[in-house]
Amino acid sequence: MKVTQTGLSEVLLLEPRVFGDARGFFFESWNELEFERAGIHARFVQDNHSRSGRGVLRGLHYQIRQPQGKLIRVVSGEIFDVAVDIRRSSPTFGRGEGVRLNAESQKMLWIPVGFAHGFCVLSEFAEVLYKATDYYAPEHERCILWNDPELRIDWPLPGTPALSAKDAAGTRLRDAEVFQ
């Protein structure tokens, strides 16, 4: 597996070894030993699967208690995936990093605990799978406003995204409950 550092030192872009031929392809999307060699020590307890249409933006989500590390991959379509460091004690607090993930490349993004996460769909639709290190706890979920000007995230969207009511009512980072 090829591991590439992003602008946020603990957020990693992962490229598995893909074995393909005329029949199709095969790759390991999770192998505990390989991930530990890459410095990722995670115990996953939940798998999530979403399907969204072009222009949908989900996020920026996190759980203040029962925080989740996430391993993100796209099985159909393409997304722009974003992690924002929300650890007040971190030298990269408030910085976001975005990467394009698509089904063709099979690349994955590791987002550890302490980061908010969101993505927008760039293709007609996208199906996103992600493994989480803790269970979903709606009472602890928080949302940072996707277009908070202090984050300076350059979302590659032609206009205003389609948002859930929860995401449209997100909090600016300066007012959000964050990690120490």
Nearest to 70 by CA among 129, 149, 23, 140: 129
- Number of neighbouring beta carbons within 10 Å of residue 67: 18
| Residue 122 half-sphere exposure toward CB, CA atoms < 13 A | 15
Q: Is 130 a catalytic residue?
A: yes
177 vs 165: CA distance, rounded Å: 19
Nearest CA among 19, 22, 150, 27 for reference residue 86: 150
Catalytic member of 41, 49, 61, 62: 61
Taking the C-alpha atoms of residue 147 and residue 135, their distance in angstroms, rounded to an integer, is 27
- The DSSP H or E segment spanning 33 is helix 32-37
* Structure-token pair, residue 166: 């929860």
CA 84/CA 74 separation, integer angstroms: 19
Choice among 41, 62, 117, 130 that is catalytic: 130
Q: Tell me the catalytic residues.
A: 61, 130
